[in-house]
Amino acid sequence: MRILIVEDEPTLGQQLKSSLEQNGYAVDLSTDGEDGHFLGSTEEYDAVILDLGLPEIDGLTVLGMWRKEGRNFPVLVLTARDSWSDKVAGLDAGADDYLAKPFQTEELIARLRALIRRASGNASSELVAGNVRLDTRSGRVTLDGEPVKLTAQEYKLLSYLMHHKGKVVSRTELIEHIYDQDFDRDSNTIEVFVTRIRKKLGAHVITTIRGLGYSLDDPDAAPRE
């Protein structure tokens, strides 16, 4: 885990740096807003500790610039000022947490842990097979990055196949998982939807295994010409 500290008081900055390093973090320290902004824009950090009372550029300004640039690392804001209106401004400017000086180092570290945990918490569960991607959280499918519109049944079928990538899935298994309970077993709906999916995503995505069922293979895993 890599942390950036932007803090103009050298004493406090150094003290924080060594505390965090003792806790296993890699720490970069910047003492003014301009330099700090540059580091945050160019390097990759898991979290940033930002002092509001900076010379030259205000901390809030720096934060706003990062957010405009699309930087979305979690930011913990430090300030000597203790009025709640400042807190509100900081939080609304895009800060994720707030700590008023003076503070206990233990508390800072605990909040940092919580921030990083949460930031990594919403990782999107994405299934990938070749040039097809299916995000189960958002329920959306892309082909070579281009979004593809699937109907409800098409999505269900593709989703099941991608969850069982590489495995041969029989028609009855598909019917059992896509439809509820009693459904006319001898109908060719599955074939119909396989056809439709192939039309939208390309024929190669779903392989037919004659007499057994279908299979969805990842070309990367099994390179074949």
Partner DNA sequence: GAAAGTGCATGCGTATCCTGATTGTCGAGG
Partner DNA sequence: CCTCGACAATCAGGATACGCATGCACTTTC
Query: Looking at beta carbons only, is 91 or 203 nearer to DNA?
Result: 203
106 binds, among DNA, a second copy, none (CB under 5 to 8 A by kind): a second copy
Query: Looking at beta carbons only, is 146 or 184 nearer to a second copy?
Result: 146
Instruction: Report the site for a second copy in 163-222 (rule: CB under 8 A).
Output: 166-168, 209-213, 215, 222
Q: Which stretch binds DNA (CB under 7 A): 59-67, 88-96, 158-166, 206-214?
A: 206-214
d(CA 15, CA 17): 5
Using the rule CB under 7 A, is 221 a contact of DNA? Answer: no
With tokens 């406090």, the residue in question is 12
Residues contacting a second copy: total by CB under 8 A = 59
> Mapped to the 3 state alphabet, what secondary structure does the chain carry?
CEEEEECCCHHHHHHHHHHHHHCCCEEEEECCHHHHHHHHHHCCCCEEEEECCCCCCCHHHHHHHHHHCCCCCCEEEEECCCCHHHHHHHHHCCCCEEEECCCCHHHHHHHHHHHHHHHHHCCCCEEEECCEEEECCCCEEEECCEEECCCHHHHHHHHHHHHCCCCEECHHHHHHHHCCCCCCCCCCHHHHHHHHHHHHHCHHHEEEECCCEEEECCCCCCCCC
Using the rule CB under 7 A, is 194 a contact of DNA? Answer: yes
Using the rule CB under 7 A, is 208 a contact of DNA? Answer: yes
110, 195, 204, 220: which one contacts a second copy (CB under 8 A)? 110
Closest approach, Cβ 224 to a second copy, in A, equals: 7
Using the rule CB under 7 A, is 134 a contact of DNA? Answer: no
Closest approach, Cβ 181 to DNA, in A, equals: 13
Q: Which stretch binds DNA (CB under 7 A): 39-47, 76-84, 110-118, 210-218?
A: 210-218
d(CA 15, CA 141): 48
The torsion region of residue 214 among left (phi > 0), alpha (psi -120 to 50) and beta comes to beta
42, 68, 146, 152: which one contacts DNA (CB under 7 A)? 152
Instruction: Report the site for a second copy in 71-90 (rule: CB under 8 A).
Output: 71-72, 74, 84-85, 87-88
Using the rule CB under 8 A, is 147 a contact of a second copy? Answer: yes
Using the rule CB under 7 A, is 161 a contact of DNA? Answer: no
Residues near DNA (CB under 7 A): 149, 151-154, 171, 179, 184, 187-189, 191-195, 198, 203, 208, 210-213
